[in-house]
C-alpha cells in the first residue's frame, strides 16, 4: 500500500494511474479517493493521475495530535506537503466540492505548486440553506452512521434523471461502501471546516488558469446560492477570464454522474499551452 508521511505525523495513501503531466484529484467530504473512481480512467491516458485519501479518510491516517489546526488552510497545507512528499515541483489539480475548496485555498497559499486548476461543484461561502442541509448529514453521521449519510447526500447530489439509469442502485451501493470506509468523526470535522470557511478572498489571489465546471441540477452547491453564499455566479463576476462550463441534466456528483462528458472539457483545458 503506497503512502507518504508528512510533518504532523499523518500518513497519506495515494494511487498513481497513467502517464504524462501530473494531475492530482482531491475528493469531496465523506468520500475518499473513490469519489474520482469513474473519472480517473478517462484522465489516465493523458496524465499521470494521482488519487489520494485525505487525512482521516480511507487508508490515510491523522497525526498523533488529531486533525491539523487551521481549518481549511490547515488541510490545504497538508495536501501541499503531500505534493512535495510525492516529488512534484508543480502539478495540476482537480478538486470537487470540499476538495475544490481545499484546492483553491492551496493554490492561493502555495501558488508555486500549481500549474492549472479545475474546480467542480463548490461554494466559496455556504449560504444558510447549505448549512441546514449539512446539519442533517452531521446528525445522521452521529446517530445512524455513514451509510445513512450516503443516502442523504445522494438525494441532494444527483440529478433526477440519474435515478432512471439501469446502474443507479449499484452506484448508490458503491457510495455507501465508500462512505463507510471513513469515520463519522472525519466527515463531521470536514463539514465543520466547510461551514466555518469563507474562501472568497482567495479568488483575487489566484494566478493559475482556472476551469469552473458544474451541473445545472446541483442542489447542493447551486450556481447562484442565496444572498449569504458565494457560488459560481459571483466567482465569474469577480474573475470573468476564468473558463466556466455547466453540464446539462447533471447534479452535484458530476465526477460520478457525467465523468466522460466532464473529461471532454477538462482534458483540453489541462493540455492547453
Q: Does the pTM of the predicted model rise above 0.75?
A: yes
pLDDT given at position 193? 84
What contacts 218, CB < 8 A, 6 or more positions away?
121, 250, 251, 252, 254
Q: Phi and psi for 188 in degrees, rounded to 5?
A: -65, -45
**Grid cell 452531521 in the structure block, residue:** 138
Whether the predicted pLDDT of 273 surpasses 80: no
- pLDDT tens string 34-69: 999 999 999 999 999 999 999 989 899 989 988 888
Q: What is the residue extent of each domain of the chain?
A: 3-271
pLDDT given at position 59? 93
Please give the helix or strand (H or E) that residue 256 lies within, else none.
helix 254-257
pLDDT given at position 183? 84
- pLDDT tens string 21-33: 999 999 998 888 9
pLDDT band of 97, cuts 50, 70, 90 = very high
- pLDDT tens string 156-196: 899 999 999 999 999 999 999 989 988 888 888 888 888 88
Whether the predicted pLDDT of 249 surpasses 90: yes
Cα→Cα distances 230→112, 125, 140, 189, 238, Å: 26, 5, 26, 21, 11
How large is the average pLDDT for residues 196-201? 94
- Domain 3-271 annotated CATH 3.40.50.1860: no
pLDDT given at position 268? 98
How large is the average pLDDT for residues 213-234? 96
Amino acid at each position: 500500500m503506497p503512502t507518504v508521511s508528512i510533518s504532523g505525523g499523518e500518513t497519506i495513501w495515494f494511487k498513481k494511474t497513467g502517464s504524462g503531466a501530473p494531475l492530482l484529484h482531491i475528493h469531496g467530504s465523506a468520500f475518499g479517493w473513490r469519489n474520482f473512481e469513474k473519472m480517473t480512467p478517462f484522465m489516465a491516458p493523458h496524465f499521470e493521475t494521482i488519487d489520494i485519501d485525505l487525512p482521516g479518510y480511507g487508508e490515510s491516517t491523522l497525526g498523533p495530535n488529531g486533525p491539523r489546526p487551521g481549518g481549511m488552510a490547515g488541510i490545504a497545507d497538508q495536501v501541499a506537503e503531500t505534493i512535495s512528499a510525492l516529488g512534484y515541483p508543480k502539478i495540476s489539480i482537480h478538486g470537487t466540492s470540499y476538495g475544490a475548496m481545499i484546492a483553491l485555498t492551496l493554490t492561493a497559499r502555495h501558488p508555486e505548486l500549481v500549474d492549472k486548476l479545475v474546480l467542480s461543484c463548490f461554494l466559496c461561502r455556504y449560504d444558510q440553506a447549505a448549512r441546514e442541509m449539512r446539519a442533517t448529514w452531521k446528525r445522521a453521521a452521529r446517530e445512524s452512521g455513514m451509510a445513512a449519510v450516503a443516502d442523504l447526500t445522494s438525494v441532494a447530489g444527483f440529478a433526477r434523471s440519474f435515478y432512471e439509469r439501469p446502474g443507479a442502485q449499484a452506484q448508490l451501493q458503491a457510495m455507501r461502501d465508500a462512505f463507510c470506509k471513513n469515520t463519522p468523526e472525519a466527515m463531521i470535522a470536514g463539514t465543520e471546516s466547510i461551514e466555518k470557511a469563507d474562501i472568497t478572498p482567495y479568488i483575487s489571489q489566484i494566478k493559475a488558469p482556472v476551469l469552473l465546471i458544474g451541473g445545472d441540477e446541483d442542489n447542493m452547491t447551486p450556481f447562484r446560492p442565496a444572498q449569504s453564499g458565494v457560488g459560481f455566479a459571483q466567482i465569474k463576476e469577480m474573475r470573468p477570464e476564468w473558463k466556466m462550463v455547466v453540464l446539462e441534466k447533471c447534479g452535484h456528483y458530476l465526477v460520478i454522474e457525467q465523468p466522460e462528458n466532464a473529461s471532454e472539457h477538462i482534458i483540453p483545458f489541462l493540455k492547453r499551452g
